[in-house]
Copies of this chain bind each other. A is one copy, B any other.
Amino acid sequence: MTKEQALQTNFDVDYVVVYRFAKTDKSAAVNKFEQLVEALASVGLQTEVRNGENDSVLIFTRVASDEHLFGEVYRSRVRDWIHGVRVAAPPKETREALEAEPLYEAERLRIIYQLITNPASEGGAGITPKEGEWESVESIFALHDHAYNKDWIKKWGSQYFLQAEDLDDIRNRLGEKIAFYFAFTQSYFTFLFFPAAFGAAAWFLLGHFSPIYGIVSSVWCTVFTEYWKHQEADLGIRWGVRGVSRIETNRKDFKHEKEITDPVTGEKVRIFSGSKRLQRQLLVLPFAIAASTMLGALIATCFCIEVFISEVYGGPLKSILVFLPTGILTIFMPILTGILTNFATQLTHYENYETHASYETALTQKIFVLNFITSYLPIFLTAFVYVPFGNLIVPHLDIFSLTVRPFAEDEDQLKAPQEGFTINPDRLRKQVIYFTVTAQVVNLGMELIVPYLKRRGLSKYKQYQSDRAAKNGGTPPYEDANDPPEDAAFLQRVRQEAELEVYDVTSDLREMVLQFGYLSLFSVVWPLTAVSFIINDWIELRADAIKICVEMQRPTPWRADTIGPWLDSLSFLTWLGSLTTAALTYMFSNDGLGPDGHPSNITGWALLLSVFFSEHLFFLFRWGIRIAISKLDSPGLQKEKRDRYLVRKQYFEENLSLLEKIPRMADAGGDITRESLEEDARQSTLRASTAESRFWSRQKGWKETVTVGKSLIEKSSNATSPELKKEL
């Protein structure tokens, strides 16, 4: 079997379980392994074991027969229905249910994954990789569908826009969560065309800091954010996942204080006191402050040094020394953020959430704060500290002279000019351009190239190692030595995939949201921002596709009906944009020289007023947009409407047929004849006559009511009319 063929088939393997036993001693490892395999078998998975790379074995699993899936499928569908994800309840006979709507690939994989990882109480095997007793289970991953991946990348490479079908494809293969990321990026990309075009025009015609561009861009940001919410709902329905975020999945490593039986359901529930959690959550404040100060300090220092060198320092090597602060940043920033991110994770873990959703939200918020500082603070410093207060600060920057003292020839080169210093309006633009072009490109590069090199290096190292091993006459470390030849290539490939990293969609989402931030916050400084982004994102979309196919293990398909907490970040940035845009346009009118051509003319109340005004304009406008968008119809909403209608119709028809039998009142009661009257009399004497019965028996049937009514009408209109006339 050649390498080519190996890529064509997956041997019906559903999931590969990597079991690593390097740390544990042999006998223990063996026992654990036995438990593992038995657990897998107990939920109806067929198993095959093969050698893995150093000190690991690969357990190949596939569902023995669909029957074994039924339980899980049914559970998940009933849960969906209860939470309103699906309109009608699934038929009680699961086989029918499955025939009615067969599983799509992602759903199937998701359900099998749950079958493996869910606790036994929910009918799963309870195998949780890298957690608790299953420490030694390194990972559980499905195999890439290389044929599909190839087509996917080819297709995307050749088309400018992604169609709804492309997104459906992703959803069917990789699940809704990842599909939502691509959907978001795609619609963001499409929306970018307008600001790109308008921005270019503004750049030519209106110049920088034009209020018109500011307004337009804020409007655009608002429209986009609100429209995306609408689209999210629409896609949610299209993919039949609307409301899944309401279905809460418990975290495995949630530590409960005590276990009580729920008064409502009588189920055992694990409790962790909310007050305690609140206390822990409050730790986020000191954390945020500490993080801000640390990062802020680092950035501010470098900023000052840079200002000092570029605007005060007059000595030699200036052109080189200018890059000193950048150097410092590039070295220390990643380290610092690394530490802080790690700490944030720890903290979130310590906050001990029951559900995945709440955990992710909490973590995302922290991460967002960090990213916010690192991404935007430098520009904020320039815009709102350097420019207005430059004249006050710069003279005191001599303290940073020590950074360059060695290079200076005499003291004067280190002295700040005591007067006549003017701030450099170009600095802000330069910075924005750096962040919106250079940084983006670098970022993209890092994402694609670094992991590639890493993988290359690794394989090189292995090669070298095996050669040495061969030289030393030891058995080669390659585990595939004793593979059956026909599987060799396949196993080879699986081992490679086992080595790959796990794809985390949120990091990609974060990237996009932060990018959006530059647009909403600062694009008024440099209207071409959107142009740069549109190019960047076209590539980004493809790059991510490649990343998923090549750099990463096949992601476990999870469901989602939203991009989650990032949506809040999006709204937040849009709102903040309405403030910064106004402030920037006011402060930097006249091309960065402040109101009347001089920054010192910036007056507090005018600045505040413009900000205040623009913010409330924004609120008003957003409100309007929300209403407008809520009126929009969409395929998704129509689908929902249809489903509802059909269910209702069915119910009505079944029931109303029963009601036909009821006798219509219209038929009852005939004309008054002597007989009928006598009949009535007889009746009334028969039954014990109460006031009620007498009241209701005066007119028999509606026809009689009519006759009586007629006479009344005649009489009364004779009786009273003249009276009334007299009154007038």
Contacts and interface: CB of A to CB of B under 8 A. Distances in A.
Interface of A: 1, 9, 11-12, 21, 26, 29-30, 33-34, 37-38, 40-51, 54-55, 57, 59-60, 62, 64, 67-68, 70-71, 74-75, 78-79, 82-84, 87, 89, 92-94, 263-265, 267, 274, 465, 469, 472, 474-475, 477, 479, 484, 486-487, 490, 603-605, 608-609, 611-612, 631, 638, 641-642, 644-645, 647-648, 651-652, 654-656, 658-659, 662, 664-666, 668-669, 691-692, 694-696, 698-699, 701-702, 705-706, 708-710, 712-714, 716-717, 719-724, 726-727
A79 B720 contact: no
A435 to B, nearest CB: 26
Contacts of A11: 691-692, 695-696
16 contacts: A9-B691, A11-B696, A33-B713, A37-B705, A41-B669, A49-B708, A55-B716, A55-B721, A60-B695, A67-B662, A92-B651, A94-B655, A94-B658, A267-B645, A465-B727, A477-B720
B264 A57 contact: no
A47 to B, nearest CB: 4
B721 A9 contact: no
Contacts of A696: 11-12, 46, 48, 62
A577 B305 CA distance: 46
Contact of A71 (B40, B484, B656): B656
A318 to B, nearest CB: 40
Nearest to A664: B42
Shortest 3 CB-CB distances between A and B: which pairs? Answer: A605-B605, A41-B702, A604-B605
Given A59-B709, A93-B658, 11 more contacts: A26-B713, A29-B713, A33-B713, A59-B705, A70-B662, A74-B656, A89-B89, A265-B642, A267-B645, A274-B631, A472-B726
Given A57-B713, A265-B641, A706-B37, A44 B652 contact: no
A474 B709 contact: no
A181 to B, nearest CB: 26
Nearest to A95: B658
Contacts of A29: 713, 717
A645 B55 contact: no
B9 A692 contact: yes
Contacts of A706: 33-34, 37-38
Contacts of A669: 41
A48 B654 contact: no
A47 B465 contact: no
Given A1-B691, A71-B656, A638 B264 contact: yes
Given A30-B710, A605-B604, A723-B477, A48 B664 contact: no
A699 to B, nearest CB: 5
Nearest to A35: B706
A67 B94 CA distance: 37
Contacts of A702: 37-38, 40-41, 47
Nearest to A21: B713
A714 B64 CA distance: 28
Contacts of A472: 726
Contacts of A92: 651, 654-655
Nearest to A656: B71
B714 A655 contact: no
Contact of A712 (B51, B484, B716): B51
Contact of A57 (B44, B94, B694, B712): B712
A713 B34 CA distance: 11
Contact of A612 (B71, B611, B705): B611
Given A469-B723, A720-B55, A652 B78 contact: yes
A205 B467 CA distance: 89
Contacts of A37: 702, 705-706, 709
Nearest to A267: B645
Contact of A608 (B41, B79, B264, B605): B605
Contacts of A710: 30, 33-34
A469 B727 CA distance: 11
A655 B74 contact: yes
A720 B274 contact: no
A719 B46 contact: no
A72 B264 CA distance: 33
Given A12-B692, A38-B702, A21 B665 contact: no
A641 B706 CA distance: 53
A652 to B, nearest CB: 7
A48 B722 CA distance: 27
A71 B644 CA distance: 19
Contact of A717 (B55, B666, B712, B726): B55
Contacts of A26: 713-714, 717
A38 B713 contact: no
A9 B92 CA distance: 50
A44 B583 CA distance: 70
Contacts of A263: 638
A391 B11 CA distance: 91
Contact of A21 (B49, B484, B609, B717): B717
Nearest to A57: B712
A384 to B, nearest CB: 15
A235 to B, nearest CB: 18
Contacts of A43: 665
A11 B44 CA distance: 68
Nearest to A649: B265
A603 B274 CA distance: 46
A70 B475 contact: no
A696 B48 CA distance: 7
Contacts of A699: 47-49
Nearest to A89: B651
Contacts of A609: 604, 608
A49 B477 contact: no
Nearest to A632: B274
A723 B274 contact: no
Contact of A475 (B55, B655, B701, B719): B719
Contacts of A692: 9, 11-12
Given A41-B665, A611-B612, A51 B716 contact: yes
A724 B462 CA distance: 12
A390 B21 CA distance: 86
Nearest to A277: B631
A68 B9 contact: no
B712 A49 contact: yes
